[in-house]
Amino acid sequence: MKRTACVFVATAVLAGCARAPKAKAPQPAPPGHGLPSGAAALLPLPARLEPGRGAEFRITGKTVLHAGDPALAGSAAALREWIRRATGIAPAPASPVAGPPENAIELSLDPARTALGPEGYDLVIDAKRVLLTAAAPAGVFYGVQTLRQLLPYWAEHEAVLFAEPRPATLPPLHIEDTPRFAWRGAMLDVARHFFTVDDVKRFVDLLALHKMNRLHLHLADDQGWRIEIAKWPDLTAKGGLGEVGGTPGGFYTKAQYADIVAYAAARFVTIVPEIDMPGHTNAALASYAQLNCSGQAPPPYSGTEVGFSALCVDNPATYQFIDDIVGEIAAMTPGPYFHCGGDEVKTLTPAQYRTFIERVQTIVQAHGKQMIGWDEIAGATLLPSSIVQHWRPEAPKDTLARAAHLVLSPADRSYLDMKYHSDIAIGLTWAGLIPVKTAYDWDPGTLVPGAAPGSVLGVEAALWAETLANIRDLEFLAMPRLAAIAEVGWSPASLHSWEPFRLRLAAQAPRWTALGINFYRAPDIPWKSF
Ligand code: TNX
C-alpha cells in the first residue's frame, strides 16, 4: 500500500488527508469523533491513524486467515471467531505462501520492527488484504482487539445472528499504534465481596477489550481471605467464610487461581496479587490467635470500617507467617509483582510501620518478586525496584516524586467504586463523585510534579467492593469509567480530548449491550442505539 505522508489524528481530520491528494479544499471533518466512518468505535484511540484511499476490504467466503507464527495461534483463533459471528463465515486458515494471497488476513511477527515495542502493532487494511504486524505477540493481540472494534457489534453475540452468510467490510486505513504507558491496570477487591472465577474472567475480558494489561487482585482484607495457602489452611477455612454484610464469602483454591492466571495470560494480562498488611488483616487475625499481640483471635468482621486491625509487627513469628504467604503466592504467580498493601494503618507508630514495610520488602525480594504497595509505603526506604501505587489525593507529592516507580490510581479520578452521581444507590463518596468526564480528564504525565522522567509506569483503576453485591454491580460501576482509564493509559497525551472521546464512548453501546454488560448509561453520553 502506498503511504501518504499525511498522518491523521483523532480531533483533526487534516485537510486533504481523507481523500485523494488532488482534493485541495479542506475536507469536511467526519462528525465529531474525528475518525473515518467504519472506525468510529476505536477505544482506546490508536496513536496514529491514516485513512486509506482505496476500497474497503470485504470479508467473504473466499477470505483466508493466516497467522505466520505459532505464538499467534490464540489471537488468530479469537479473530476467526469474531469474524464468524460477524459474518457467518469462518475464514479458512491459509497454508504458508511466499507472499500473502489476495483476500487474506495476515497476522505476523517481525522482531525487526523494534519501534513498535513489546505491545505495539501496525495494521494496514486495503481492498486486497489486511496485514497486521507486531514485534511481539502482545502487539498482534492488541491489533486483533482493534480489528474486533472495526467489525460490526454483533460479532460479540455468542450465537450467530442470521442464517445466511453476510459479508462484512473493514475500512481502508493504516494504524501504527503503541501504548503511552506499560502499566494499564485495574484492581478488583475480591475481599470485601467475593467474586467467582467466572466473574473474574469476565472482568479480564473487559480489560482485554480495552488493551489493559494488569489485573491487581486484592486477595485479603479485614472481611475475608480469598486465596488458599497450604501452610496456613485456616486462612481460608475460617477467614474465607464471610464478606461485608455477613453473606457467605469464598476463596480461590490454588487450581482456581492457576486457572485465573492462565486465562489472564492468554489475554496478555498479568495478575498482580495483593495481600494487604500490616493493616486490613482482621480475616487473618481471626483465623490464627498467634498472629495477635494479645494471643486472642478477634471475631470475624463484616462491617466497612478501616484501620483497626494490624499484625503483631514486633513478634518474629509474624515474619515466618509472611514468608510462608509470600512464598506460596510467589510460586503460583508467574508475573514479577507482589503487592503488600501497606495502606491505612492507624494502630502502629511511624517507625514500626517503616520497619515492617522494609522487612516485608526483603521477604518479597527473597522470593524473586518486585514489591508494590499503596502510597503510604513511600515513607519507607525502598529498593530501586519497588513500586509505589499512588491513591490518596492528599498524599505528599514531594515524597511521591522521589519514588523510583509509580503507578497512578488517584482516588478522585480512578476509583471506580466512587458514585457517578449522588442519586446512585451503590458506590462510595469519600473521594468525591466521579462522573465519566472526571475519570477521563486528567494527565498521568503531570499528576506528580517533579516525578523523574520514566518513573510513571502507568495507571490503574481501582474497584473496591464494599457496596458491590454481584457482577452486575461490578459492571455498573466499572463501565464506562474503566474504558476512560484505559484510554488515559494507552493513547498519547496529544490526542486526549473529551468531546471526541465522548462520541467514541457513545459508539460502544451496541457492542457492550451485545456483550451483556450492565453499563451505566451516563446522561452526558449520546449513547448509540442499534
Ligand atoms: C480506601 S484505597 C482503601 C480501601 C477502601 C477504599 C474504598 C486504599 C488503599 N484503601 O480499603 O476499600 O478506600 O474506596
Instruction: Give the list of residues 6+ apart from residue 5 with CB closer than 8 angstroms, or none.
Output: none
Least confident of 2-16, 216-230, 448-462: 2-16
Query: 10 Å Cβ neighbour count for 38?
Result: 17
- What number does the ligand 1 atom closest to the CA of 280 have? 11
Output the average pLDDT for the chain. 92
> Count of H helices and E strands in the chain?
15, 19
State how far the Cα of 207 lies from the Cα of 215, in Å rounded to an integer: 8
3-class DSSP assignment, residue 460 = strand
Least confident of 25-39, 62-76, 418-432: 25-39
> Is 344 considered catalytic here?
yes
Please tell me if the CB atom of residue 391 comes closer than 6 angstroms to any atom of ligand 1: yes
Exposed / middle / buried, residue 414 (Cβ in 10 Å: 0-12, 13-18, 19+): buried
Measured by CA distance, the residue closest to atom 9 of ligand 1 is: 343
Please tell me if the CB atom of residue 343 comes closer than 6 angstroms to any atom of ligand 1: yes
| Fold that domain 48-177 belongs to in CATH | Chitobiase; domain 2 (3.30.379)
Q: What confidence score (pLDDT) does residue 53 get?
A: 87
State how far the Cα of 443 lies from the Cα of 350, in Å rounded to an integer: 32
Give me the catalytic one of 344, 394, 460, 487: 344
pLDDT tens digits for 267-295? 999 999 999 999 999 999 999 999 999 99
For 492-503, what is the mean pLDDT? 96
Please tell me if the CB atom of residue 415 comes closer than 6 angstroms to any atom of ligand 1: yes
Considering the entire predicted model, what is its pTM?
0.93
Q: What confidence score (pLDDT) does residue 94 get?
A: 74
Please tell me if the CB atom of residue 82 comes closer than 6 angstroms to any atom of ligand 1: no
Which residue matches cell numbers 487450581? 255
172, 57 contact by CB (below 8 A): yes
Intervals of CATH 3.20.20.80 along the chain? 183-310+391-500
pLDDT tens digits for 505-514? 999 999 999 9
Instruction: Name the percent of the chain lying above pLDDT 90.
Output: 87
Statement: 183-310+391-500 belongs to CATH 3.20.20.80: yes
State how far the Cα of 384 lies from the Cα of 403, in Å rounded to an integer: 8
215, 272 contact by CB (below 8 A): yes
Q: Are strands 104-109 and 64-67 parallel, antiparallel or unpaired?
A: parallel
Measured by CA distance, the residue closest to atom 5 of ligand 1 is: 464
Q: What confidence score (pLDDT) does residue 453 get?
A: 87
pLDDT tens digits for 73-107? 999 999 999 999 999 998 888 765 555 578 999 99
State how far the Cα of 524 lies from the Cα of 331, in Å rounded to an integer: 46
Q: What confidence score (pLDDT) does residue 17 get?
A: 34
Q: What is the DSSP letter of 183?
A: E
pLDDT at 380 over 80: yes
**Beta bridge mates, 428:** 418
Intervals of CATH 3.30.379.10 along the chain? 48-177
- What number does the ligand 1 atom closest to the CA of 409 have? 2
State how far the Cα of 477 lies from the Cα of 426, in Å rounded to an integer: 8
Please tell me if the CB atom of residue 464 comes closer than 6 angstroms to any atom of ligand 1: yes
Ligand 1 center–CA 464 separation, angstroms: 7
pLDDT at 522 over 90: yes
- What number does the ligand 1 atom closest to the CA of 306 have? 11
pLDDT tens digits for 3-41? 333 333 333 332 233 333 333 343 443 445 568 878 899
Ligand 1 center–CA 345 separation, angstroms: 12
85, 160 contact by CB (below 8 A): yes
Taking each helix axis from N to C end, the angle separating 197-209 and 254-265, rounded to the nearest 10 degrees, works out to 10
Q: What confidence score (pLDDT) does residue 343 get?
A: 96
Q: Rounded to whole angstroms, what are the CA distances from 241 to 109, 221, 232, 245, 250?
A: 47, 13, 15, 12, 6
Q: What confidence score (pLDDT) does residue 93 get?
A: 83
Q: What confidence score (pLDDT) does residue 96 get?
A: 56
